[in-house]
Amino acid sequence: MLTALLVMTGIALLLGAGLGFASIKFKVEGDPLVDKIDAILPQTQCGQCGFPGCRPYANAIAGGEAEINQCPPGGEEGIRKLADLLGREFKPLSEEHGVEKPKSVAVIDEATCIGCTLCIQACPVDAIVGAAKQMHTIIAADCTGCELCLAPCPVDCITMEPIVETVDTWKWRYPVFQIKQAA
Amino acid sequence: MINSPYIRKPASVQSVMLQVLLALVPGIAAYVWFFGAGILVQLAIASVAALAGEAAMLAIRGKPKALFLTDLSAIVTAWLIALTFPPIAPWWLTVTGTLLAVVIVKQLYGGLGQNPFNPAMAAFCLMIVAYPALMSQWPAAGQLDFKTQIELIFGGARHVDAITGATPLDALRTALRSAASPDSELHGLRAAQLMDGPAFGLLGGKGGEWVAFGYLLGGLWLIQRRIITWHIPAAFCGALFATAGLLWSLRPEGFASPLFHLASGGAMLGAFFILTDPVSGATTARGKLLFAAGAAVLTYVIRAFGAYPDGIAFATLLMNILVPIIDMKTQAPVFGHKKD
Amino acid sequence: MLRKLFKFHGGVKPPTNKAHSTTAPIASVPLPDRLVIPLHQSVGGHPRPLVQPGDQVFKGQRIGGADGNLSSAVHASTSGIVRDVLPAVMPHTSGLTTLSVVIEPDGEDRWGELDRINVRAATPDELRDYLRDAGVVGLGGAVFPSHLKLKPGKEGKLDTLVINGAECEPFITCDDMLMRERATDMLKGISAMRHMLQARDVLIGIEDNKPEALAAVRAAIAAAGEPGIEALAIPTRYPAGGAKQLIRVLTGIEVPHGRRSTDFGVQCFNVGTAYSIHDALEHGRPLISRVVTVAGNVDAPRNYDVLIGTPMDHVVRLAGARPDTDRYIMGGPMMGVRMPAFDVPVVKATNCILVGSPVLFPPPPPEMPCIRCGECAKACPADLAPFEMYWFSRARNFGKTQEYHLFDCIECGCCSFVCPSHIPLVDYFRFSKSEIWAREREKEAADTARERFEFKNLRQEREKQEKAEKLAAKAAATREKVAGDTATAPPGAAAAVTKPGGDDAKRALIEAAMEKARLQKAQVAPKNLDVTSPDVQAEMAAIDARRHAAREASSDPHPPAGQA
């Protein structure tokens, strides 16, 4: 009896020591969680989640202060990835934060623009060029489609235009897979 | 929406399975010749059970029945079960084994193409563990007429005790073990001498060796038809021959000859028809060699040192477990990345 | 002399179906009513239009200028009037549009003034620029700009120039007929390329099912008497005409994915490209036509010399399409792309218009699960394991597909061809590739956005800090001043009064501007008209109209490529 106990204790100690050693020796210096979450977020910087930008939202998720379903531009796929990463349950996009829309870019109606620079200040990624009393324009390639420039515009000259598919961005569709067939 | 290519080779799962079934015919013919037509009844029982089980599962899973019942894969499983089970196994044993194979091992894992284990071999293992006596009763060649066989198959297990038989593999192992003990009257006799009995033929069991030869013929035809590649049969036979040969040359009085091992039991069936199941077997060229060689060594170990009449089934399942890692680690280098 | 040939792994032998379209010589095609010439016709390039609606163009006149190095010019295929420059449906599976020039031929087919070049005197760089402006691209189907491939490797010379006359796709015979009829000119083009690449040997690979072409090329070589050029019969096996496979067969070299073949001392060109290069260098004629096979569901399969921009149905009509025709395929049955319409134009990539019918190309039998039989791996010329990539593609596990070398897949279709389960394997690989590319684009965009956002925050922080420092300095100065004077009014109160006042002033300004804009929007009628002359008024009206048009154009969902 005593021998058995000793043997079991010995094994337990040995394995424990092994595990402890492994945890120190093979410690994974991975990305901190916030970076991983931030990498999934679309970087639209639109603030629809209720936080001033993607990174703050990532911080909030990591800190358990925010749900994972508050990012409309990331859409369902984004939520799934977050759910996977964090081992949380998938949730549909929360309606109070907005709806998933097709990817768009802002376009300034240059004839109406009065050059007030308000949109330039609102743009989180500096994708609008212009100067006071000069016409402004949007660098389409850098626009994230966050819509933050719409509200401040005093003359409502900014519209969102969905990005059109071109031959260069066209994608092959998922092959239709016959799973079920009327028998 | 159909994209290129717009033309296809006239190949189908059905034609592949059909050719496998055809390749079994020479072996079955030899089986009937030496052991009687009872095996045909077993084949029929297993086929019906397999189709019924498959149909029921397809209905439950909402899959197209016409498409999958005609792919003949269930029949291949059924035939392998019938050919590996004793020919006088009671009908319910065959039916239970077949249903286990089709319903649990194949369909519950997702049906055609999804099963990690060879269904026929999984069923064999389950049944031999559950019914060791019934699964080990083998009549000798010409011992039973068709009427007796039918009675045994449909009349339950009560006659079995009267017709005790063992496979030549079993018989030889028992004989070798007793020959090793000094008290036995067989003491000192070698395998070759022990095989001088009515149950044995030229190389293996009497009749059984001809069945194995039939399987060999069918298997070679499959290789010629490019349904299977040479890797698995060659590696299996080679490794079995080498392992058996090594021990036999070290101690000929204790072990059977390598030719005996090749000609006995399910060696040929295993090499050409069981291990070559693409779904549960390795797929890369090097992987196939490893997979089959591993199975051969395990088969030999179980045959020589284990308690079961044959080792193919357990060896197959054990190697099936290793298939994912074998395949992953043996991926051939792709175009432009080879080192000549 | 017997040269050792090498083998590539896999491959298939589909029925070749080449006999019917080689009975008659290459025919010409009457001018159509309308030519639609897409500007995007080569890998990478979106040339800018050089003509406007209403312009008169001559045959061979450049209508699209190369935009950058990875691009190639586009030319008018005949003389006539430019009717339109607009996005038109392009010969691509997607059915998407691309900016195209619509020319109404005047029937005279008059050549414009041709740009000539002295091949012997020109430097290699000049020759390359010339070929770019002559619109010469690879005619084997990949349409990669040829001038970019005519650069020798690091050492400035090449071991072997491989000329691809294999033409392994079933039905297609355009290279076969070109070699039979134009071997001498083709050989001159090869000579020029050899000169530019400083290639030691030239190997012309021709599949052994084209004995006539091989004989014609050999006769031309003998007549030319140039040493070091050899035409070789290679075994007929699809895809022996894939550039990588042909290089492997002729030289034994395997060029890995993502590496340049010149790094291995080899370069590969199609026979049609060689002919076009000769045409451009010798006669100054840009690439405005090509040989196209019309085959499949037609009464008289044949090869035609077709002007770029000719509607496909115009050509097919000559060969007699049968009534049950349900689709056109550009290319062969193994790799061809289904056309979105019958009247899409012939482009530089069109080697074959394969006319399809439900009988000729029946839909595949129902797809069955993969049984891992390994047939696809046996057939794969890139030594891949298609069934493994299929599992991961189906599960959208794109990382794993790349581990199994998805991007080494050349989409030849051999795996789908042999699959007993009738799985459209290539479709899964195309899907995975485009998803991966899309994700890379998205990730790049997200990274840029993150960087720009962080930079903006940084800038704002810095500005705030600078402002605060300035204010502090000012406040300190004021305080000193106030301290110097007699301090009476509390500074806090003054600030409280002035600051909101400042905001109010700003708001008022903005409101005034808004009012002005609203007025502008509401009534576009310009003021002070009484003092302007009618001439000026007319000019203003014209400007207004232009502005209006610009506003409408900017809301157009298909902005011209030049603007985008």
Provide the CATH number for the domain around residue C157.
Answer: 3.40.50.11540
pTM, 2 dp: 0.84
Mean pLDDT value across residues C92-114: 92
Q: Residue C61: what residue type?
A: Q
Question: Which residues of A make CB contacts under 8 Å with C?
Answer: 38, 41-45, 53-55, 107, 109-112, 114, 116, 118, 123-127, 140, 142, 144, 154-155, 157, 159, 161, 164-167, 169-175, 177-178, 181
Among the partner-chain residues B6, B111, B281, the one whose CB lies closest to the CB of C361 is B6
User: Has residue B5 been placed in a domain?
Assistant: no
User: Has residue B339 been placed in a domain?
Assistant: no
User: Has residue C324 been placed in a domain?
Assistant: no
pLDDT band at C494 (very low <50, low <70, confident <90, very high): very low
Mean pLDDT value across residues C63-73: 89
And the tokens for A55? 């990174």
pLDDT of residue C498: 46
pLDDT band at C514 (very low <50, low <70, confident <90, very high): confident
What is the set of domains in chain A, with CATH numbers?
Answer: 33-97 (1.10.15.40), 104-162 (3.30.70.20)
For CA atoms A76, A80, A82, A87, the dihedral sign is positive
3-state secondary structure of C322: coil
Range of the domain at B124: 12-165
Q: Is the ipTM of this complex over 0.95?
A: no
User: Has residue C227 been placed in a domain?
Assistant: yes
Q: How far are the Cα atoms of C13, C241, C248, C375, C409 from residue C10, in angstroms, in the given order?
A: 10, 13, 13, 10, 13
Q: Are residues B161 and B190 in the same domain?
A: no
Query: Could you give the number of structural domains in chain B?
Result: 2
Determine, for residues A176 and B1 on separate chains, whether the beta-carbon distance falls below 8 Å: yes
Q: Are residues C280 and C149 in the same domain?
A: yes
Domain C-terminal end among B165, B184, B207:
B165
Point out the least confidently predicted range of B159-168, C123-132, C234-243: B159-168
Determine, for residues B63 and A183 on separate chains, whether the beta-carbon distance falls below 8 Å: yes
Query: Could you give the number of structural domains in chain C?
Result: 2
Q: Which chain A positions have a beta carbon within 8 Å of B58's beta carbon?
A: 183
User: Has residue C187 been placed in a domain?
Assistant: yes
What is the least distance, in Å, from the CA of A19 to any CA of chain B? 25
What is the least distance, in Å, from the CA of B282 to any CA of chain C? 9
Chain A interface mutation, best of C46, C99, C421, C453, highest count of A Cβ atoms under 10 Å = C453
pLDDT of residue C496: 45
pLDDT of residue C478: 86
Q: Are residues B270 and B311 in the same domain?
A: yes
Domain C-terminal end among C303, C319, C335:
C319
> What's the mean per-residue pLDDT of chain C?
88
3-state secondary structure of B176: helix
Q: Which chain C positions have a beta carbon within 8 Å of B113's beta carbon?
A: 368-372, 421
User: Has residue C486 been placed in a domain?
Assistant: no
User: Model confidence over A17-29: pLDDT tens digits?
Assistant: 999 988 888 776 6
Cis before B168? omega within 30? no
Tokens 């008659």 correspond to C24
Q: Chains meeting B at 3+ CB pairs closer than 8 A? A: A, C
User: Model confidence over C424-452: pLDDT tens digits?
Assistant: 999 999 999 999 999 999 899 999 999 99
Determine, for residues A183 and B1 on separate chains, whether the beta-carbon distance falls below 8 Å: no
Q: Are residues C285 and C393 in the same domain?
A: no
Point out the least confidently predicted range of B142-156, C33-47, C548-562: C548-562
> What's the mean per-residue pLDDT of chain B?
88
Determine, for residues B12 and C418 on separate chains, whether the beta-carbon distance falls below 8 Å: no
> What's the mean per-residue pLDDT of chain A?
87
User: Has residue B6 been placed in a domain?
Assistant: no
Mean pLDDT value across residues C2-28: 91
Q: Are residues C132 and C259 in the same domain?
A: yes
Q: Are residues C296 and C397 in the same domain?
A: no
**DSSP character string of B243-255:** HHHHHHHH-TTTS
pLDDT of residue B183: 67
Domain C-terminal end among C464, C482, C512:
C464
Determine, for residues C366 and B5 on separate chains, whether the beta-carbon distance falls below 8 Å: no
User: Has residue B338 been placed in a domain?
Assistant: no
Chain A interface mutation, best of C94, C444, C507, C510, highest count of A Cβ atoms under 10 Å = C94
Report the distance separating Cα B337 and Cα B56, nearest Å: 48
pLDDT of residue B166: 61
Determine, for residues A180 and B1 on separate chains, whether the beta-carbon distance falls below 8 Å: no
pLDDT band at B187 (very low <50, low <70, confident <90, very high): low
Among the partner-chain residues C387, C422, C427, the one whose CB lies closest to the CB of B3 is C427
Cβ neighbourhood burial of B205 (10 Å; 0-12, 13-18, 19+): buried
Q: Are residues C129 and C255 in the same domain?
A: yes
Point out the least confidently predicted range of A17-31, B290-304, C294-308, C504-518: C504-518
Report the distance separating Cα C54 and Cα C56, nearest Å: 7
Q: Residues B179, B182, B185, CA angle at the centre, nearest 5°?
A: 60
* pLDDT at position B160 over 70: no
Contact B281, B291 (CB under 8 A): yes
Determine, for residues C517 and A154 on separate chains, whether the beta-carbon distance falls below 8 Å: yes
Helix B285-305 vs helix B168-180: angle between axes, to the nearest 10 degrees? Answer: 50
**Main-chain phi, psi angles of C355, to 5 degrees:** -90, 125
Domain C-terminal end among B165, B185, B215:
B165
pLDDT band at B208 (very low <50, low <70, confident <90, very high): confident
pLDDT of residue C409: 95
Please give the residue of chain C at the shortest CA–CA distance from A104.
Answer: C557
Q: Residue B335: what residue type?
A: F
Report the distance separating Cα C317 and Cα C312, nearest Å: 9
Report the distance separating Cα A55 and Cα A39, nearest Å: 9
Q: Residues A87, A88, A91, CA angle at the centre, nearest 5°?
A: 140
pLDDT of residue B188: 60
Determine, for residues C365 and B3 on separate chains, whether the beta-carbon distance falls below 8 Å: no
User: Has residue C278 been placed in a domain?
Assistant: yes
The interface residues of chain A toward chain B in range 89-148, judged by CB-CB distance below 8 A, are: none
User: Model confidence over C219-236: pLDDT tens digits?
Assistant: 999 999 889 999 999 999
Q: Are residues C127 and C197 in the same domain?
A: yes
And the tokens for B205? 């069991």
Q: Which chain B positions have a beta carbon within 8 Å of C361's beta carbon?
A: 2, 6-7
* pLDDT at position A164 over 90: no
pLDDT of residue C557: 47
User: Model confidence over B27-53: pLDDT tens digits?
Assistant: 999 999 998 899 999 999 999 999 999
Q: Are residues C120 and C253 in the same domain?
A: yes
* pLDDT at position C43 over 90: no
Point out the least confidently predicted range of A28-32, A130-134, C136-140, C344-348: A28-32
Report the distance separating Cα C412 and Cα C423, nearest Å: 15
Chain B interface mutation, best of C328, C371, C415, highest count of B Cβ atoms under 10 Å = C371
User: Has residue C307 been placed in a domain?
Assistant: yes
User: Has residue B230 been placed in a domain?
Assistant: yes
Please choose, from the candidates B197, B228, B211, the residue with its C-alpha nearest in 3D space to the C-alpha of residue B266.
Answer: B211
Report the distance separating Cα C27 and Cα C193, nearest Å: 28
pLDDT of residue C561: 42
User: Has residue B334 been placed in a domain?
Assistant: no
User: Model confidence over C353-380: pLDDT tens digits?
Assistant: 999 999 999 988 888 999 999 999 999 9
pLDDT band at A179 (very low <50, low <70, confident <90, very high): very low
pLDDT of residue A96: 86
Q: Are residues C302 and C158 in the same domain?
A: yes
User: Model confidence over B253-301: pLDDT tens digits?
Assistant: 778 888 888 988 889 999 999 999 999 999 999 999 999 999 999 999 9
Domain C-terminal end among B109, B140, B165:
B165
Q: Are residues B187 and B265 in the same domain?
A: yes
Q: Are residues B172 and B305 in the same domain?
A: yes
pLDDT of residue C499: 46
Among the partner-chain residues B59, B63, B66, the one whose CB lies closest to the CB of A180 is B63
Domain C-terminal end among C407, C437, C464:
C464
The more confident residue out of C14 and C142 is C14
Q: Are residues C308 and C402 in the same domain?
A: no
pLDDT of residue C295: 95
* pLDDT at position B140 over 90: no
Report the distance separating Cα C269 and Cα C146, nearest Å: 8
pLDDT of residue C534: 67
User: Model confidence over C254-272: pLDDT tens digits?
Assistant: 999 888 888 899 999 999 9
Please choose, from the candidates B217, B135, B140, B204, the residue with its C-alpha nearest in 3D space to the C-alpha of residue B169.
Answer: B204
Q: How long a stretch of residues is chain C?
A: 564
Determine, for residues A114 and C517 on separate chains, whether the beta-carbon distance falls below 8 Å: yes
Query: Which helix (H) or strand (E) is C230 found in, with range?
Result: strand C229-234
Please give the residue of chain A at the shortest CA–CA distance from B63.
Answer: A180
3-state secondary structure of C342: coil
* Radius of gyration over every alpha carbon of chain C, rounded to an integer in angstroms: 32
**DSSP character string of B183-240:** TSTTTT--HHHHT-STTB-SSSBTTHHHHHHHHHHHHHHHHHTTSS-SHHHHHHHHHH
pLDDT band at C563 (very low <50, low <70, confident <90, very high): very low
pLDDT of residue C1: 52
User: Has residue C94 been placed in a domain?
Assistant: no
CB neighbourhood size of A28 (10 A): 6
Please choose, from the candidates C422, C368, C426, the residue with its C-alpha nearest in 3D space to the C-alpha of residue B10.
Answer: C422
Range of the domain at C401: 370-464
Please give the residue of chain A at the shortest CA–CA distance from B65.
Answer: A183
Which residues are CB-contacts of C438 (< 8 A; sequence separation ≥ 6)? A169, A171
Q: Are residues C306 and C211 in the same domain?
A: yes
Among the partner-chain residues C248, C366, C382, the one whose CB lies closest to the CB of B334 is C382
Q: Does A176 touch chain B (CB under 8 A)?
A: yes
Report the distance separating Cα C272 and Cα A28, nearest Å: 56
User: Has residue B3 been placed in a domain?
Assistant: no
Contact A69, A79 (CB under 8 A): yes
Determine, for residues C453 and A125 on separate chains, whether the beta-carbon distance falls below 8 Å: yes
Report the distance separating Cα C480 and Cα C270, nearest Å: 84
Tokens 């392992």 correspond to B243
Q: Are residues B172 and B318 in the same domain?
A: yes
pLDDT band at B176 (very low <50, low <70, confident <90, very high): confident
pLDDT of residue A182: 38
